Amino acid sequence: MSVSSDVVVRKAVIPAAGRGTRFLPFTKATPKEMLPIIDRPTMEYIVAEAAGCGIDDVLVITSRGKVSIEDHFDQAPELEAALAEAGKTSELEMVRASSEMARVHFVRQGVALGLGHAIGQARDHVGDESFAVLLGDDVLHPDSDVLSRMISTHERTGAHVIALMEVPPDEVSLYGCVEATEIGPGLVQVHSMVEKPPPEEAPSNLAMMGRYVFGPSIFDAIDATPPGRGGEIQITDAIASFTGSGEVYGVVFSEGRYDVGSKADYLRAIVEFACEREDLGPDFEAFLVGYVRGRGLLD
């Protein structure tokens, strides 16, 4: 596969139009993307991940009731002035960071017709450029190099690239799974894929994990993809149209991912991120040790 040497991924798309029913009643009035991991909303971690890979143009696909996401990435002149007057320099830097890390744009998905349809809403913004897609349910640890590896693979090969992780057999029905051949350390060529298969029909236990890097040809594939399960346009079906010609690669990773759509994994993210912070870690770890010992969970 050949690719022009001037292919550079400068844009990212973050679908954020879901209802977040797994976190009701919190999400009755607040977008799930604003769930805090300590003192930063999950969406800020996603945008920061993109920015850390050199992406400075981010499009968020939203829906009704998600204005607070836009507010978070906007400037807050009155708050900034009050913090500056009070000499709260560190707080001022944190507030400004969210509006300065990237140019963040918004468009609404008027009708929820699936992830493929949501990504398709980015066509006018992305144009004929390559772009990354980051799902807001998946937070990657700031030390993760998954997205940078994916971008490097796409820029080198021109292939569409998906993030993959091995999952237990009893979890394959929760994800899109692939049949693939290893072509290098942590890199596979994808031959076929299926969305949320029963375990006995899964081609492997390599599951798609919320990060994609696409060339602009994905938009025509989305337009040509008929509705699938639940009447939704599945991005898996659109990607699958390229597997027969060897145009889909997968970057495999094994750690640093938090499914913040899961209550248990969301709590794990909070605990692990807190333990790593200099201002919280020592006291919080001491509390955790005392707590589990008090419950008889330590020898």
Q: How far apart are CA 186 and CA 162, in angstroms?
A: 12
Pick from 155, 160, 167, 263: which is nearest to 207 by CA? 167
Length of the chain in terms of residues written: 299
Question: For residue 123, what are the CA distances in angstroms to 118, 148, 178, 185?
Answer: 10, 23, 26, 33
- Spell out the residues 6+ positions from residue 246 whose beta carbon is closer than 8 angstroms to its own: 1, 159, 189
The string of pLDDT tens digits covering residues 66-75 is 999 999 999 9
What's the mean pLDDT in 10-21? 91
Q: How far apart are CA 265 and CA 56, in angstroms?
A: 29
Which of 239-263 are b and which e, b meaning 16 or more Cβ less than 10 Å from the residue's Cβ?
bbbbbeeebbbbbbbeeebbbbbee
Residue 7 host element (H or E): none
What's the mean pLDDT in 73-99? 94
Q: Which superfamily does 11-261 belong to?
A: Spore Coat Polysaccharide Biosynthesis Protein SpsA; Chain A (3.90.550.10)
The string of pLDDT tens digits covering residues 38-69 is 999 999 999 999 999 999 999 999 998 899 99
Q: How far apart are CA 7 and CA 154, in angstroms?
A: 8
- Please state which of the ranges 74-83, 164-173, 247-256 shows the lowest mean pLDDT: 164-173
pLDDT at 87 over 60: yes
299 pLDDT tier (thresholds 50, 70, 90): low
Predicted local distance difference test score (pLDDT) of residue 4? 47
Do the Cβ atoms of 190 and 243 come closer than 8 Å?
yes
Q: Where are the domains of the chain?
A: 11-261, 263-299
What is the chain's alpha carbon radius of gyration, rounded to the nearest angstrom? 20
